[in-house]
Amino acid sequence: MKDKFDLELKSIMDEETKNVFMPDELKNRIMEDTKGKSLKEKISAFLNRYIEIPLPAILGGLAAVMIINLMPLVKLNKDINYSDGKVIKVGYSEIIVRNVKDVDLHEKD
């Protein structure tokens, strides 16, 4: 519902813009720019971009991948000597019972 203020504002805007002229070329260019781009144009615009990746990030990623791939080659766990103690198998777990003298210092509480 329009009131007096709306009508007055519309008349002021019409009076101020009646001498404003926009060329047809500008109208056509605006209309083309507001149209949605086709899928082919979107893919082409995406593929024609420059991507900048900093060198430290590439080197860090490469180092991380190399470390992860080389980890199985490094023997982190020491071999367990089953002959020194009694092995109790519970499901998929193994419990090794040994004398306290056989436990290394780093294995103690």
Specify the pLDDT at position 70. 82
pTM greater than the 0.75 cutoff:
no
Specify the pLDDT at position 68. 86
Specify the pLDDT at position 63. 95
* C-alpha 90 chain-centroid distance: 42
pLDDT in tens, 24-66: 898 888 888 887 778 888 888 888 888 888 999 999 999 999 9
Specify the pLDDT at position 61. 93
65 vs 79, more confident: 65
Average pLDDT (68-91) is 70
Phi-psi region of 21 (alpha: psi -120 to 50; beta: other; left: phi over 0): beta
- Mapping DSSP onto H, E and C, the string for the chain reads CCCHHHHHHHHHHHHHHCCCCCCHHHHHHHHHHHCCCCHHHHHHHHHCCCCCCCHHHHHHHHHHHHHHHHHHHCCCCCCCCHHHCEEEEECCEEEEECCHHHCCHHHCC
How far is it, in rounded angstroms, from Cα 20 to Cα 13? 11
Work out the pLDDT band at 93, boundaries 50, 70, 90: confident
